[in-house]
Amino acid sequence: MPFAWPRGVGWRKVSTYLVVGPFAIVLAFPFYWMLTTMFKSDSDLYTAGHTPYTFNHPDGSIGWPWQTGTTSHLSFLFHQTQYPTWVVNTLLVGLAVVAITLVFALPAGYALARLAGGWGQTAGVGIFLVYLVPPTLLFLPLSRLIAQLGLQDTLWSLILVYPSFTIPFATWLLMGFFKTIPLELEDAALVDGCSRLKALVRIVFPISLPGILTVVIFAFSLCVNEFIYAFTFTSSTGERTISAGVPNELIVGDVYHWQALMAACLIPAVPLALLYNTFLDRFIKGFTGGAFR
């Protein structure tokens, strides 16, 4: 007799959890690991007999985080290291780059979606391919260029260079969003005597606000993510961003303050993932609206 799944319990539902669950566990495990590590005392963390997944009493028995955990490493991170400065630097660079990106990418994305006609699609893909030129091909000459301009070891070097990957990325996404806006809306404005630029600013941009916000978030996160430029162009502790500062400044020689390190790694990841999750559907829409559909 073939196996019959009991009525009422959807096999479809169960199979979903059976697949999605393990994937989620593996993908999120390092972050769970960061979370438990950051609150552990040294004696708990570095005792071989202790269960690493949980918090332990000195005798090795399992305890609750509020019994044996400590926030001292968190306060070390925020008071004894330059971490807060790096967070501020990262925000400054990210916001400046996003602003520059929008200035260049908004008009370009709109023109490619609406005005350029047949070659707009090809040009759009061409611009997107620029995004795929990796920093590893560019950082050798760029580092010399930055030095020549006297920008080495300043946040300005990053603000100048990061748009090289955010502009193509943002132009591509914006092109996709603008294509989803009905033509009639603009035409109505044009008929009413609006100039094209006015229609763009008054009608198109406000309707596209969710799409523009999506671009802002993903372009910002590209800046937070970037490592190699931040590592080579800035060197003094006060000018680092988190992605270069944490691996290079918090590890002193062979001394790893693992609790503080893990806190430093987890803190930026959570808000970014929340934003990604919130804007994911829009991202998919813009990404496929561009050409891959």
Partner 1 sequence: MEVVVGQPRRRRWANLLEERRFLAPALISPAVIFMVVVVGVPLGWAIYLSFTDAIGGSLSGRWVGIDNFTNVWHDQNFRNALENTLIITGASQVIVVVGAAILSHFLVREFRGKWIFRFLILLPWAAPVSLAVLGWQWILDSLFSVLNWTLAQLHLVSSLNPPQWLGETNLALLAIIFVHAWRILPFAVVIFIAGRASIPTEVEDAAKIDGASALKKLWYIDLPLQLPIALVAVLFGIVFTAADLTVVFVLTHGGPFNSTQVLTTWAFQVGIESGSLGQGAAISLYLFPLLALVSVLMLFFARRAQVS
Q: From CA 17, how far away is CA 207, in angstroms rounded?
A: 37
Binding region for partner 1 (CB under 8 A) out of 67-75, 80-88, 121-129, 201-209: 121-129
In the complex with partner 1, the residue whose CB is nearer, 99 or 140, is 140
Residue type, 231: F
Binding region for partner 1 (CB under 8 A) out of 54-62, 70-78, 114-122, 208-216: 114-122
Least distance between partner 1 and beta carbon 79 (Å): 20
Residues 6+ apart with CB under 8 A from 175: 109, 112, 113, 120, 124, 289, 290
- Do 234 and 226 form a contact (C-beta atoms < 8 A)? no
In the complex with partner 1, the residue whose CB is nearer, 41 or 232, is 232
Site string for partner 1, 165-204 (x = CB under 8 A): --xx--x-----------------------xxx-------
108 lies in the site for partner 1, by CB under 8 A: yes
Termini Cα distance of the chain: 45
Strand 62-63 and strand 255-256: pairing? unpaired
58 lies in the site for partner 1, by CB under 8 A: no
Q: Using CB under 8 A, which of 97, 189, 219, 244 touches partner 1? A: 244
Residue with tokens 């009413």: 192
Least distance between partner 1 and beta carbon 51 (Å): 8
Using CB under 8 A as the binding rule, the residues of this chain from 139 to 158 that contact partner 1 are 140-145, 148
Helix, strand counts (H, E) of the chain = 16, 4
- Please tell me whether residue 106 adopts helix, strand or coil conformation: helix
Other beta carbons within 10 Å of 256: 12
Least distance between partner 1 and beta carbon 185 (Å): 18
Q: Using CB under 8 A, which of 116, 203, 207, 213 touches partner 1? A: 116
Q: Which helix (DSSP H) or strand (DSSP E) does residue 38 occupy?
A: helix 11-38
Using CB under 8 A as the binding rule, the residues of this chain from 251 to 290 that contact partner 1 are 256, 258, 261-262, 264-265, 268-269, 272-277, 280, 283-284, 287-288
Q: If binding means CB under 8 A, how many residues of this protein chain bind partner 1?
A: 100
Site string for partner 1, 1-40 (x = CB under 8 A): -----------xx-xxx-xxx-xxxxxxxxx-xx--x---
Using CB under 8 A as the binding rule, the residues of this chain from 208 to 227 that contact partner 1 are 221, 224-225, 227
Using CB under 8 A as the binding rule, the residues of this chain from 74 to 103 that contact partner 1 are 103
Residues 6+ apart with CB under 8 A from 33: 262
CA separation (Å) from 51 to 32, 47, 48, 181?
Answer: 15, 9, 8, 56
70 lies in the site for partner 1, by CB under 8 A: no
